[in-house]
Amino acid sequence: IKKAFIFDLDGVIVDTAKYHYLAWKKIADQLGIDFTHEHNELLKGVSRIRSLDIILDLGKIDATQEDKNKWLIQKNDDYLLYLVDMNQSEILPGVLPILKYLKEIKQPIALGSASKNARPILEKTDIISYFDAIVDGNDVTNAKPDPEVFLIAAQKLAISPENSIVFEDSIAGVQAANIGKMTSIGIGDPSTLYEAKYIFNDFTEITTQFVDTLIQEQS
């Protein structure tokens, strides 16, 4: 049996969630908005534009489109600075062995990310060749928790949603997988990601046996 293995990027494959946070935090600080790590959970998996709106809502700030555009550019410029020196060492522990195993047993792999910076990150970390399909923020109109990004990924792999497995670190992403009738696997804090079918603290807890179980599992 073939299953579609769909990976989120930020916070699952690479620890870029912290860079997104730092770049947004700088803008929040400038605007005098209290922006905590708890608030940040709501931004994970969410598009850049939507993220800014959430932050402005937190500060009850009503901004012009011109200001918003300025902050969106500032955020991304700042974020990109963190990526300049990125290399394979920033791949989160346990991810590479699973990618290698999936390739070995010829299971299709896709990326399903909200980020418009996904491709350069996959190139810098030298893992782009593992992916049979890449769907990112440039390809979708509806942000997670809308399942669009994962549905397109499954479609590109020619696998049904019911036979698709999604690895996600965000609440919005877990919900997107569930809404899309896919098997959701939360990577991170169980108290945040409790809506996922399976939850692991990180990828080192995911064994090849577990992958085999996922492949055999009836959807």
What residues are designated binding site?
A: 8-10, 24, 43-48, 51, 75, 113-117, 144, 168-169
Q: Which one of the listed residues 10, 62, 67, 212 is annotated catalytic?
A: 10
For residue 51, which amino acid is it? Answer: S
* Residue 117 interacts with ligand BG6 (CB under 6 A): yes or no: yes
Which residues fall within 8 angstroms of residue 9, CB to CB, at 6 or more apart?
16, 111, 113, 115, 118, 121, 122, 136
Tokens 């998996």 sit on residue: 45
Does residue 106 come out as left (phi exceeding 0), alpha (psi in the -120 to 50 range) or beta?
left
Contact, 95 vs 130, CB < 8 A? no
* Stretch of 88-96, 108-116, 155-163, 193-201 contacting ligand BG6, by CB under 6 A: 108-116
* Residue 9 interacts with ligand BG6 (CB under 6 A): yes or no: yes
Nearer to ligand BG6, 163 or 176 (CB): 176
Nearer to ligand BG6, 163 or 168 (CB): 168
- Binders of ligand BG6 in range 166-185 (CB under 6 A): 170
Catalytic residues: 8, 10
